[in-house]
Chains A and B, each alone.
Chain A
Amino acid sequence: MSDLIKKSASELAALIAEKEVSSREVTQAHLDQISQTDSLIHAFLHVDSEGALTQAEMADKNQNSTKSPLHGVPLALKDVLAQKGIPTTCGSRILEGWRPPYDATVVTKLKDAGVVILGKTNMDEFAMGSSTENSAYGPTRNPWDTDRIPGGSGGGSAAALAAFQAPLAIGTDTGGSIRQPAAVTGTVGVKPTYGGVSRYGLVAFSSSLDQAGPCARTVLDTALLHQVIAGHDPKDATSINAPVPDVVAAAQRADVKGMKIGVVKELSGEGYEKGVAERFAESLAILESQGAEIIEVSCPNFTFALGAYYLIAPSEASSNLARFDAMRYGLRIGDDGTKSAEEVMSFTRDAGFGDEVKRRIILGTYALSAGYYDAFYGSAQKVRTLITRDFAAAYSKVDVLVSPTTPTVAFKIGEKSNDPVAMYLSDVATIPVNLAGVASMSLPAGLSEGLPVGFQIIAPAMKDDRLYLVGGALERELNAKWNGPLTHQIPDLVLR
């Protein structure tokens, strides 16, 4: 039974469809793995054992009802998405115990596809961070080395995959929060084209950058999940009204012959750890051997991306997080009958928000305030135009762009938590993607000193399928080299 947890989602779905194993058994196996390992890993904030088993039993009863390729397969859901009746905290004290009265569209789609939701995963508070150390509920540990971070903000989802607690997960990505955790945990994560997946029910951090996306241990599993959650939603006015690109077919074809792959000069390894740069170069060589043409391109305005992001995201966040005011839901403190609403709001927000969230709210409020708006937020929005133009210019020469996902392997818990700017640098390669709204994937490229390195692929908007063509091809060759997926090399967990 324990080898059920090592299987991919597509393998499990096939076994379930052929009635060789039930969704209930598969779900139970994963719940057991969570019980055994999560006191160490802490990937989950809430495990819904009863709900998951009920969903699994329904899936077993209604085998043919969904016609979904993931029917009966379990999944971990990042705690930033509203799941009706289930605690949704966004990793924050200010929403401790909040049970939404509604489902996010992504959740509705998962349920309609017969996917079994195991529980809600840990994250940096309100998706702000690159290590999951900003969670109000304690950090998550990287299964590869439990003294190290699993990445952020979606460290819980990535760790759950790497710890074999779930074969599928949902993350969200605003500046790299799916891709960077995927890179440092040796898993696959995709940020779809902005608007590709509905944001209805995704608690907003930075509305013009946020995207929910699929995470798994294999490229094909990621594609199957992408197909389930993507698509137009009338409840999200920013969602794209066009068919989802055929990502599953692309993952199965996995062929790069004749493709032009652009290496972004500004993201190509200078200032990146040696092992990261080496795995990247090896991956390029593999793609070349598979028939792709590697071309160097320059995106000079990418050097302004980090600055633009750390103005735009906090500005939008300062407005989005204003609703957490102790009046209608969430934490309320200081209401002893002598304080005004304004005082209760202010005390609650100081107590309920963590340091990074407060930092960004202050920064954002400042950047939007009278006298500073044009210089800060206004300038940052212009940089966005320049970055989008850089991408467009690059795509006139190549089909996809590539880079290492993040400059370093997983760092130690506590190593960067006192230096905000050092922490922000983890996202230097992932951020330009969100500013331009294009699609991007991180998949494992190998190890450096025993820790995973990620390879980032960036496709033009609405061409998400190209991610899977390239990712699938690279994965196939690397798995052949490694005699199996990278995650099979994870050292056994030493359960304390």
Chain B
Amino acid sequence: MALTYEEVVAKYEPSLGLEVHVELNTQTKMFCGCATEFGAAPNTQTCPVCLGMPGALPVVNEKAIESTIRIGLALNCAITPKSRFARKNYFYPDMPKNFQISQYDEPICTNGYLDVEVETDEGSKTFRIEIERVHMEEDTGKSLHVGGATGRIHGAEYSLLDYNRAGIPLVEIVTKVVSGTGKYALKLRRHM
């Protein structure tokens, strides 16, 4: 018989991990020299590279690498001496090359932690969030879904794509499973 939410919470200890995507505030995109300024008119910050045009090639932003390493160090990670980009192949209109340049086997930062202090019923307590990995990838374009009732993808007639955001540097921070947080999970998340 199915349990109610209260029964589940009483019986089970949640074990959750987080995947956090952080947009870096570099001047230019991850793999090309287009500006990253927010709020520009559609498709005014694009080029053959971030549009995935035939023949275009990526060259990585040195500031993005530096920032990612700094984030990794702040999270007490090991910085890997040899890191590699990999292509995540799937089709979606907001991803011009239909692959995302990301990291798979050899992420730039691994095995870190973040100690977070939270007020509990027993006083101040320190939770250690373990970080699995920190890696670099590129953001996708922005879709505007037109014609549906809610403006969201479901029921839309067609979509309009703005690729200004495509290629902006993203850092993905992946935590290991954090257990034992119970009712403090929300407070913890806010601190992070």
Contacts and interface: CB of A to CB of B under 8 A. Distances in A.
Q: Do A and B interact directly, with beta carbons closer than 8 Å? A: yes
Contacts of A345: 91
Interface stretch (A32-40, A294-302, A322-330): A322-330
Contact of B57 (A236, A322, A341, A368): A236
Interface in A221-270: 234-238
Nearest to A327: B93
B97 A200 contact: no
B99 A319 contact: yes
Contact of B53 (A199, A202, A238, A329): A329
A456 to B, nearest CB: 28
A104 interface: yes
B55 A200 contact: yes
B89 A322 contact: yes
Interface in B52-80: 52-60
Given A237-B60, A325-B98, A341-B159, A319 B89 contact: yes
Contact of B54 (A203, A235, A342): A203
A102 B48 contact: yes
A88 to B, nearest CB: 7
B84 interface: no
Interface string B74-105: 00000000000001010101001111000000
A318 B56 CA distance: 16
A95 interface: yes
Interface in B154-182: 157, 159, 161
Contacts of B161: 327-328
A204 interface: yes
Nearest to A369: B89
Contacts of A95: 54
A248 to B, nearest CB: 28
B59 A100 contact: no
B59 A237 contact: yes
Contact of B98 (A90, A238, A322): A322
A211 to B, nearest CB: 14
B92 to A, nearest CB: 9
A82 B54 contact: yes
A336 to B, nearest CB: 12
Contact of A203 (B55, B96, B99): B55
B51 interface: yes
Contacts of B51: 328
Contact of B55 (A81, A234, A328, A368): A81
A322 B99 contact: yes
Contacts of A90: 54
Nearest to A98: B54
Q: Which of A100, A322, A345 has the most CB of B within 10 A?
A: A322
Contacts of B57: 199-200, 235-238
B89 A323 contact: no
A318 B90 CA distance: 11
B171 to A, nearest CB: 20
Contacts of B96: 323, 328
B54 A322 contact: no
Contact of B97 (A88, A203, A318, A323): A323
Given A322-B89, A322-B91, A202 B55 contact: yes
Contact of B89 (A81, A100, A104, A368): A368
Contacts of A235: 57, 59
A201 interface: yes
B57 to A, nearest CB: 5
Nearest to A199: B57
B159 A200 contact: no
A491 interface: no
Contacts of A236: 57, 59
A341 B52 contact: no
Contacts of A371: none
Q: Which of A95, A101, A323, A368 has the most CB of B within 10 A?
A: A323
B91 A82 contact: no
A342 B53 contact: no
B32 to A, nearest CB: 9
Leading 4 A-B pairs by shortest Cβ distance: A322-B98, A203-B54, A201-B55, A82-B55
12 contacts: A82-B54, A90-B54, A95-B54, A199-B55, A200-B55, A201-B55, A204-B54, A235-B57, A319-B89, A322-B99, A323-B98, A328-B161
Given A199-B57, A200-B57, A337-B157, 5 more contacts: A204-B55, A323-B54, A328-B52, A329-B53, A368-B89
Interface of A: 81-82, 88, 90, 95, 98, 100-102, 104, 199-204, 234-238, 318-319, 322-325, 327-329, 337, 341-342, 345, 368
